[in-house]
Amino acid sequence: MADMNDIQSFIQPYLVPEGSAELNKNLEAMAASFAVTDDKIREIIKGFHASMKAGLERDDKDALPMIPTYVCGRPTGKETGTFLALDLGGTNLRVCQVTLNGDTTYSLVQQKFTITQEAKESRLWDFIAECVGVFLEEHDLHPPTGRRSIPCGYTFSFPIFQTSIASGNLSMWNKGFTVPNSVARDVVNLTQSAFQRHHVPVEVVAILNDTVGTLMTSGYSHPDTQMGIIFGTGTNAAYWEKLENIPKWVGEDRSGEMVVNLEWGAFDNATKVLPYTPHDNKLNRKSPNHGLQVYEKMISGLFLGEVARNAVLALVDQRLVFNGRSSDIFNKSYTFDTAYMSEIVSDETPDLSVVQTVLESTLDIPLTTLLDRKVVKNVCNMIGTRGVRLSAAAMSAVLLARPELLTNTVSVGIDGSMYQFYPNFERDLYTVSRVFLGEDFVDNRLKLHLAKDGSGVGAAIVAMTVDRDREHHA
């Protein structure tokens, strides 16, 4: 196996022997700038640990947010019952009925409602209540015997400041929402009041984000789950932490542990340790949240294609590919989708015909040569490899923060399009993390699982754990 501390291991595969000296000099410099050596990963893990520790001690804008989620009850996989979940996103409201079967399996019935412009601007809370009312009626759902309401988990994908398991104040609207009289108010109260107005017998018992949902979904099917990760359009993670390791937590301690939401896309916004290139900076300076979520912009599906487009255009501008020409499509930001990268890096045909189709038919770049196509494939591979190595670095850093867990089997629930669809992403997560977590642990005890639909199933499972703990403490 190549020595991943030797910078040449990151350069040699990307040179093109039939290309000019000038082209290869540029490819060499580009590959070196995207390289993430093993020593660089060790530096990143060290930086991650310092940032995690600072974020657990206090709210510090320069540290990872490390948000306490108030989720303290683990699922065992043996719980039974039917619970509701609401998943409010930027486009749709999903209402889900999740039935837990008690044998680590569950079933899901769901309905999607497109959020109207009127709801986005004014009637959101009543709109949610009306949709839930329709769902209950269509599926003939009623509160359990002896109860006045059906317990519900709420995945809310807008920024909130959480103040308890079932309350969170809206920090700000985004995604085109402008509902008045909502910012700084408790979104659970606003939703619950609408349920009362519309006589909908549902009680929101938990509010959470989708990463916590991913962790809990995996935890029901695999009770040894310690971490949930999303590697998709965006990226984030949540993990179980001992309360004694969270100095900023001032609430009561019922179980000795809590799920912490890392918000790790915000790691190293100052780029002290991350391998930041001019192609990243070009993306960053043109993005609405300039200088924020820098780590996310290096590894998530929304951004990888754009970094690759910037890098290819840098070669175009030196007339080293496409004869110095581009196309109207390729000149526009975000037209080189990360899905195209997946197709390109998988192309093993002798004349790279898949790459040719993407470049010529989809992106309208005329008459590419085989050399052009090889260069584009190599650039995509440089950036994809950096992405998965940085992803493995973050996963390893979080697991190494709980070293006492590593003597046992550890499951990690993962969702998202990068994990599911980017070529060899899961395989490479295992391969890279072996260096830092140890071969014995990774080969024998680390289990990565696809945990689909954390925002639906996971929200219902959190509702179940809250409901169970309430009864236990009643």
pLDDT value of position 453: 83
Residue 95 backbone phi and psi in degrees, to 5: -115, 125
In this prediction, what percent of the chain has a pLDDT beyond 70? Answer: 99
Q: pLDDT (tens digit, 9 = 90+) per residue, 278-301?
A: 787 888 788 777 777 788 888 888
Q: Where are the domains of the chain?
A: 71-222+453-467
474 has a pLDDT exceeding 90: no
What residue type is assigned to position 162 of the chain? Q
Cβ atoms of residues 379 and 308 within 8 Å: yes
Q: pLDDT (tens digit, 9 = 90+) per residue, 235-254?
A: 999 999 999 999 999 887 77
Residue 344 backbone phi and psi in degrees, to 5: -65, -45
| Whether 9 is catalytic | no
Q: Residue by residue, what is the 3-state secondary structure of the chain?
A: CCCCCCHHHHHHHHCCCCCCHHHHHHHHHHHHHHCCCHHHHHHHHHHHHHHHHHHHHCCCCCCCCCEECCCCCCCCCCCEEEEEEEEECCCEEEEEEEEEECCCCEEEEEEEEECCHHHHHHHHHHHHHHHHHHHHHHCCCCCCCCCCCEEEEEEECCCEEEEECCEEEECCCCCCCCCCCCCCCEHHHHHHHHHHHCCCCEEEEEEECHHHHHHHHHHHHCCCEEEEEEECCCEEEEEEEEHHHCCCCCCCCCCCEEEEECCHHHCCCCCCCCCCCHHHHHHHHCCCCCCCCCCHHHHCHHHHHHHHHHHHHHHHHCCCCHHHCCCHHHHCCCCCCHHHHHHHHCCCCCCCHHHHHHHHHHCCCCCCCHHHHHHHHHHHHHHHHHHHHHHHHHHHHHHHCCHHHHHCCEEEEEECHHHHHCCCHHHHHHHHHHHHHCHHHHHHCEEEEECCCHHHHHHHHHHHHHHHHHHHHC
The token pair at 290 is 């300039």
DSSP β-ladder status, 167-170 and 202-208? unpaired
| Whether 210 is catalytic | yes
26 has a pLDDT exceeding 70: yes
> Taking Cα atoms as reference points, which of 416, 431, 417 lies closest to residue 385?
431
Q: pLDDT (tens digit, 9 = 90+) per residue, 110-155?
A: 999 999 999 999 999 999 999 999 999 999 999 988 889 999 999 9
Q: pLDDT (tens digit, 9 = 90+) per residue, 321-351?
A: 999 999 999 999 999 999 999 999 999 999 9
| Whether 94 is catalytic | yes
361 has a pLDDT exceeding 60: yes
What is the rounded CA–CA span in Å between residue 448 and residue 260? 19
Could you say which of 87, 210, 428, 453 is catalytic?
Answer: 210
CA 303 vs CA 233, 282, 341, 349, 392: distances in Å: 8, 12, 11, 27, 18
- pLDDT band at 473, cuts 50/70/90? low
Give the global pTM: 0.90
Could you say which of 9, 33, 149, 157 is catalytic?
Answer: 157
Could you say which of 51, 74, 87, 94 is catalytic?
Answer: 94
Q: pLDDT (tens digit, 9 = 90+) per residue, 364-396?
A: 999 999 999 999 999 999 999 999 999 999 999
The token pair at 296 is 């996310």
CATH number of 71-222+453-467: 3.30.420.40
